Amino acid sequence: MTGRADAVIVAAGASRRFGSETPKQFLPVRGQPLLVHTIARIRASEEIDDVVVVLPRNGFDAHQEHMRQFVDDAHLAFVAGGETRQDSVWAGLECVGTRGDDDLILVHDGARPLADVALIDEVISRASQTGGAIAAVPVVETLKEVGGELTIRRTVDRKRFYRAQTPQCFRYELLRSAFEAARDDGFFGTDEASLVERRGATISIVVGSEHNIKVTTREDLSRVEYFLAQDAP
């Protein structure tokens, strides 16, 4: 490997779309909160140094106390998030603190507990070479561009399209400057790469896995349960 990284795990959402009073990242999966499994995957990488976990601002103290029952690591910190994902990642960056320009920051979704160590390590390695890298999977379905009233305009070439996942990893100075520029411009992106793209930076893709699920529905939670059971000794 050619680089090491600090990690920001974003788990500050309220899970309104999930339809649960308990945010999905704290729902039990095989006897532990979903988020604990995500943290374990990140901590399993020898390329990761410190880890910052961003929790919901509402009820932060209770959430932190709950998580400390399962993970208590000197290299693991918890911080309260913000109103948007972008605000929450920024809170994680602020907690990480000042780093050298070429140091790496890896960002990962708290509700994505099945990223394997090889994928995490490869994203870090590619980011150390190019400045930025993300996990993504190629689109396999036929894609249609539509117009008004859901009428098809054309079929687009799916070979040019990938679905972004996390982890996403960038050089510290590049990621921080991208966040600062987005704040100044009032721009809100859906992931970290969308902010970095605006800086004209090169971002590499590391082909991810369909198992690297982001839990958004009850069905996703069941799939995570299944795959974790397959991995259990």
Provide the edge-to-edge strand list for the sheet that holds 5-10.
76-80, 48-55, 5-10, 104-109, 162-171, 132-138, 204-207
Higher per-residue confidence, 136 vs 232: 136
- Return the bridge partners of 53, or none: 9, 78
Q: CA-to-CA distance for 133 and 193, rounded, in angstroms?
A: 8
Q: What share of the chain is helix, strand, coil (3-state, %, to 5)?
A: 40, 25, 35
Are 6 and 99 in contact by the 8 Å Cβ rule? The answer is yes
pLDDT tens digits, residue range 120-159?
Answer: 999 999 999 999 999 999 999 999 999 999 999 999 999 9
Q: In the prediction, which pLDDT does 209 show? A: 94
- Decide if pLDDT at 2 tops 70: no
Q: In the prediction, which pLDDT does 42 show? A: 97
Q: In the prediction, which pLDDT does 98 show? A: 78
- Decide if pLDDT at 90 tops 50: yes
Q: Where are the beta strands (DSSP E) in the chain?
A: 5-10, 28-29, 32-33, 48-55, 76-80, 104-109, 132-138, 143-146, 152-156, 162-171, 204-207
Q: In the prediction, which pLDDT does 3 show? A: 67
pLDDT tens digits, residue range 23-81?
Answer: 999 999 999 999 999 999 999 999 999 999 999 999 999 999 999 999 988 899 999 99
pLDDT-based confidence at 99, cuts 50/70/90?
Answer: confident
Phi, psi of 122 (to 5 degrees): -70, -40
- Spatial CB neighbours of 195, under 8 Å, sequence gap ≥ 6: 86, 175, 178, 179, 181, 182, 187, 189
Q: In the prediction, which pLDDT does 144 show? A: 96
What domains are defined for the chain? 5-231 (3.90.550.10)
State the distance between the two ends of the chain, measured CA to CA, in whole angstroms: 28
Query: Which candidate, 16, 9, 19, places its Cα nearest to that of 219?
Result: 19
pLDDT tens digits, residue range 151-195?
Answer: 999 999 999 999 999 999 999 999 999 999 999 999 999 999 999
How, if at all, do strands 32-33 and 28-29 pair? antiparallel
pLDDT-based confidence at 111, cuts 50/70/90?
Answer: very high
Q: What percent of the chain has pLDDT over 90?
A: 87
Higher per-residue confidence, 14 vs 53: 53
pLDDT-based confidence at 100, cuts 50/70/90?
Answer: confident
